[in-house]
Amino acid sequence: MTNNTPALLLTPRDAARALAISPRKLWAMTASGEIPCVRLGRSVRYHPASLEKFIHAKEKKEGGADG
């Protein structure tokens, strides 16, 4: 994979950074099933599109930024 190729899956550190939350909060939300993840053996990864769906669902459920 070259540096110009976007990652198909994010590491927990990258996913937490993308969501602007702590890695500890990400793990708690993953363990509760609130945030979807992909398990590859013992590794946990996050699909960027799934994180976007999670964000949009939270916006709709909580009324979004506008209210």
DSSP H helical ranges for the chain: 12-19, 23-31, 48-61
Tokens of 63: 């009324």
User: Sorting pLDDT into bands at 50, 70 and 90, what band is 8?
Assistant: very high
Structure token digits, residue 13: 């550190």
Structure tokens at 54: 């999670």
**Stated pTM of the model:** 0.80
pLDDT in tens, 23-39: 999 999 999 999 999 99
Question: What residue ranges do the domains of the chain occupy?
Answer: 12-61
For residues 7 and 14, the answer to whether their CB atoms sit within 8 Å is yes
Task: State how far the Cα of 59 lies from the Cα of 55, in Å rounded to an integer.
Answer: 6
Give bridge partners of residue 44 from the DSSP assignment.
39
